[in-house]
Amino acid sequence: MFRKRGTPVTDNDMKNGKPNPEAEAETTENLKFTPAREGEQTIDADSDIMDAELLGEDGEDGDFSGFPGMDEGMMAQVQEMMGKLERVDELEKENADLRFRLGRLAADFDGYRNRTGQDLDAAEDKGISKAAEQLMPVYDDLERAVTMGSEDPAKLIPGVKAVQSKVLAIFSKLGLEQTAQEGEHFDPQWHEALQVVPGDEDDKIVQVFQAGFRMGDRLVRPARVVVSRKG
């Protein structure tokens, strides 16, 4: 006995365990798949593609949803570039800071150089004033010697020698020391030989043409002398 399509299953049928061929046929018809046409992707294939897009090359989930078409290697390059840009920004800030500090240092150095120049000029003026002050009594003695010598020439020589001794005393106060005396050994560091003459000993100063002076270990003026040489 056959039922028409759409005939409901009765409780008796269920109790008797009778199958419903029409219900089975409808279920089978609903579960049929339409064959895939050439070039079309099936549901399973689409699922695989979606999984592949969500997974990275190493099987881990990739987070590239905001960058279509970007893989892990490209993302690494972008991150490296961003890191370099951040480093460039830091270097620019450091450079700006160094330029500012260099400008301050240059300004401080200019100020120091100006102050040093002013101090040197002041020290030089002070030294000249001090030397002139020391030499003023010498000028006074020379003036008196000339006056006395004009009245009595015999008194001129003692007066000049007195002035000479006073000048040497002033030089000593200023730190100057005479470097050449007759009978001393010739020393090219302090003496300049103008002439060599025969003598009993080598390198002995026999005459001083011009006195020399030094200040400590620094030569102020070499003494010009005549030196002996055994012949």
Q: Is residue 205 part of a domain?
A: yes
**183 vs 205: CA distance, rounded Å:** 5
Last residue of a domain, one of 29, 46, 67: 67
**Partners of 198 in the β-ladder:** 229
SS3 214: strand
Instruction: Give the CATH number, domain containing residue 214.
Output: 2.30.22.10
CB contact at 8 A, 110 and 132: no
Q: What's at 207, amino acid-wise?
A: Q
Tens of pLDDT, residues 67-99:
566 677 777 777 778 877 788 888 888 888 888
Count of domains forming the chain: 2
**148 vs 159: CA distance, rounded Å:** 8
Q: Is residue 101 part of a domain?
A: no
Two tokens, residue 202: 């080598």
* pLDDT for 170: 86
CB contact at 8 A, 205 and 226: yes
Last residue of a domain, one of 40, 67, 94: 67
SS3 142: helix
Q: Tokens 């006995």 sit at which residue?
A: 1
State the CB neighbour count (10 A cutoff) for residue 178.
Answer: 15
Q: Is residue 228 part of a domain?
A: yes
Q: pLDDT class for 4, splitting at 50, 70, 90? A: very low
CB contact at 8 A, 222 and 189: no
Tens of pLDDT, residues 146-160:
888 788 888 788 888
* pLDDT for 20: 52
Across all residues in the chain, what is the average pLDDT? Answer: 75
Q: Is residue 133 part of a domain?
A: no
Q: Is residue 83 part of a domain?
A: no
Tens of pLDDT, residues 30-47:
444 445 455 544 444 444
Q: Does the structure show a pLDDT above 60 at 104?
A: yes
**Domain range enclosing 44:** 11-67
For the chain, give percent helix, strand, coil, nearest 5: 55, 15, 30
Q: Is residue 118 part of a domain?
A: no
* pLDDT for 67: 58
Q: Does the structure show a pLDDT above 70 at 199?
A: yes
Task: Please state whether 183 falls in left (phi above 0), alpha (psi between -120 and 50) or beta.
Answer: left
Q: Is 141 exposed, middle or buried (0-12, 13-18, 19+ CB in 10 A)?
A: middle
Q: Does the structure show a pLDDT above 60 at 8?
A: no
Model-level pTM?
A: 0.46
Q: Is residue 50 part of a domain?
A: yes
Last residue of a domain, one of 48, 67, 86: 67
Query: What DSSP letter does each residue of 50-111 carry, written as one string?
Result: HHHHHB-TTSSBP--TTSTT--HHHHHHHHHHHHHHHHHHHHHHHHHHHHHHHHHHHHHHHH
Higher pLDDT, 170 or 225: 225
Q: Is residue 217 part of a domain?
A: yes
**128 vs 131: CA distance, rounded Å:** 5
